[in-house]
Chain A
C-alpha cells in the first residue's frame, strides 16, 4: 500500500464565456514511504497545480473543480473538510515552495514562523518551542540559530531562507514532503546545498518526498521514480535509470535531448523540442503532444493514447514510442487504438511512421 496514491486527479478552471481549462487532466501516480518521486515537465504542464490540489491549497475561486482521489495513508485528502485538512497539513504532509523570499512572511521574525507550526501541531509553547525551533534551524544548517530566530526574512540570504522554510516543513517530522521547485530561485551553488540537505533529511527521517521540477539534473540526482507530465497528464512513468537510459515517450526523449551537455562537440547545437506548450491538442482529441512530436503517426490524432504498461513496471502514453535500443523493431500490425492490453513493443509501429521524423536520440545512448 503506497503512502500517497493519486488517482485520476483532475483540476479544471471554468470561466464564464471562456473555454474550460483542464490544468490537470487525470493524473495518477503513487509515492511509497521513504521514496523520492519526481514530477517533471515544462512550465504550465500542471505539476504545481497537482501539488497544490493534493494539499488543498488551490486559491478558492468560482469555477474551480477538483476531481479524482488523493489517498494519503487511507484517507482521501480531497474529501476532507477544512478542519481535518488543516490538521494534516504541516503535520503529516508538508510543503516547500519555490521562492523563499516571498514564501516567508516579511513582518514576522523567523522564530515565530517556525514555532507557530510547533505550537499548532505539537502543542509546544514558550521556551520549549524556541529551543526546538533553534534545534530545527541547526539541523537544516543555519549557523547561530538562536540569533537567527529573532531575525526577519529580509535579513537572511536566499539559501538561508530556503533552509528556514525547510525547517518549518520538517518541524513535525511529516511522512510526506512536497517540494515545488525548491531550488529554482537560488544560485547554482546554493541549489546543490539545498538538494543535498533535502536528500539528507529524507534519508535520515524516512520521509517520502515528491520533487516537482523542470530540471532534469535535479531529478537525476535525487529521484527513485519519475513521472513526466505533459499538458496535465502523466505521459511516462519509470524508475530513474531506465528513464534516462531508454526514454520511451517522445516528449521524454525531447526533454533529455534538450539538456545542454559539456561533453557535446563545439559545433553541436541544442535540440529544443519544437513548438511550445501552448501548441496542444486537447486530450480527448488525441495526444496533446502530437503537434510538437517528431514521431507523430496518424493514430496520434482522433482519440487519446492509452496508458501502456510494460513488463518492467514502466508505463507511457504513446502509440509510437521510441524504440528500446538493442531490440529489433517488431512487425507493427496493431495500432494503439486497441488499448493498453497490447504488448508495448507491438505498438511501436515504426514501420508505418510516414509522418514521423527522426528521433532526437538521447545522448546517453550514444555511448552505451
Chain B
C-alpha cells in the first residue's frame, strides 16, 4: 500500500512536467505575446523591446523554459498584474476557502445522497422512489446561482437562520494559521470562531451540493438495485444474517464502487466550479478571484489556478484509487 502511494505520487512528476510545457506554450501563444498582455495594445515598440529583455524573452527558447520550470519548482508563480501581490500569497489566502466550501458541499451531497439513493432502491417503484428520482432531476436542472439566490432569500433574509455572506464574522477577530477557518478555530481552540465559519458554509455548501447530490442519489440507487439482484446477497440472506448485516456488509459495500468513482470526479469539478456560488454569497474563495482574473487578463493568476486544479485532480484521483483498493480486493495493489 505504501509503495503504491509513493509510486502514484512519483507519477505526479511527469503529469506536472507535461502541464508546465502546455502552460509555457500557452503563454508564448498569447495574442501579441506576453508583452501585449502586460502593456495592452498601446505600448511603443521600444517599451515592448524593454519588456521582452526584462522578461528574458530574447533568450533561446530552451533557456526560457528552463527558467520557467525552475520558478515553478520554487513555487514562484509570479505577481498578479491586478493586485500586484505574489500569486502564491493570494492563493494561500483564498484557496482554503474554496476547499472548505467544496468539502462542505461533498459532505452534504454524500451524507444525504447515499442514504437517499439506497432507500429509493429499497422502495423501488413506490412514492419515495419517485420523489427522490424526480427530486434529483430537479436538482440537476436548477442552475446553481438561482438555487443560491433562493436559499439566501429564504434562510438568510427571511428566516435569518444563516448568515448571507462572507466566510466568518470579522468582529470575532479569529486567529489565522492555515486559512482554513474551521480548522484554524479548532487548532486555536476558538470554538465559536470554528462554529461561525461552519455556519457560514451551510448555505453556499447546500447550493453547491445540489448537482453532486442529485448525481450521487441516482448512481447509488442504480448501483444498489444492481447489487440487490446479485447471488451473493441471496447467499447472505440464506445464512439468516440480520437485515442490517446484509445491508451494510453485503449490499452497500459492493454498491459503493461506482459511487466512489463519481465522487472523485465531482469533487474536482466543484473546486473549479464554485465561482457562481462564491459570487452570490460574497464568499472570498478562489472562484470569485479567478473570475475577476479572467476579465482582467491576469495571466499569472490564471496559470497558477490551472496548476493548482491539475494537482488537486491528480491527488483526488489518487484518493479515489486508494479507497477503491480498500473497498475492492480485486483491484488491490501489490
Contact = CB atoms under 8 A, between A and B. Distances in A.
Do these two chains really belong together in a complex?
A: yes
Interface of A: 55, 57, 59, 62, 82, 85-91, 94-95, 97, 99, 102-109, 112, 116-117, 120-121, 152, 154, 165, 168-169
B120 to A, nearest CB: 16
A169 B242 CA distance: 16
A97 B330 contact: no
Nearest to B233: A105
> What are the 9 tightest A-B residue pairs by CB atom distance, in nearest-first order?
A90-B240, A89-B240, A90-B239, A102-B231, A105-B232, A152-B329, A95-B238, A103-B231, A86-B240
Nearest to B246: A86
B241 interface: yes
A152 B330 contact: yes
B235 A103 contact: yes
Contacts of B236: 105
Interface in B213-233: 229-232
B238 A57 contact: yes
Contacts of A91: 240
A99 B250 CA distance: 17
Contact of A59 (B229, B232, B238): B229
B310 to A, nearest CB: 32
13 contacts: A62-B125, A89-B237, A89-B238, A90-B241, A94-B238, A97-B238, A103-B235, A104-B232, A106-B328, A107-B253, A107-B330, A109-B329, A120-B241
B93 to A, nearest CB: 43
B234 interface: yes
A97 B234 contact: yes
Given A105-B232, A120-B245, A154 B329 contact: yes
Contacts of B329: 106-107, 109, 152, 154
Contact of A116 (B229, B245, B327): B245
Binding site secondary structure of chain B: helix
Interface of B: 125, 229-232, 234-243, 245, 249-250, 253-254, 327-330
A121 B234 contact: no
Contacts, number: 83
B239 A108 contact: no
A120 B239 contact: yes
Contact of B330 (A57, A102, A106): A106
A105 B236 CA distance: 9
A105 B229 CA distance: 12
B317 to A, nearest CB: 21
A120 B242 contact: yes
A84 B230 CA distance: 24
Contacts of B240: 85-91, 117, 120-121
Contacts of B330: 106-107, 152, 154
A168 B231 CA distance: 15
B261 to A, nearest CB: 15
Given A116-B241, A116-B249, A107 B234 contact: no
Contact of B230 (A89, A102, A112, A154): A102
A128 to B, nearest CB: 18
Given A105-B250, A107-B253, A117 B239 contact: yes
A103 B249 contact: no
Nearest to A55: B238
A99 B186 CA distance: 53
B239 A89 contact: yes
B252 to A, nearest CB: 11
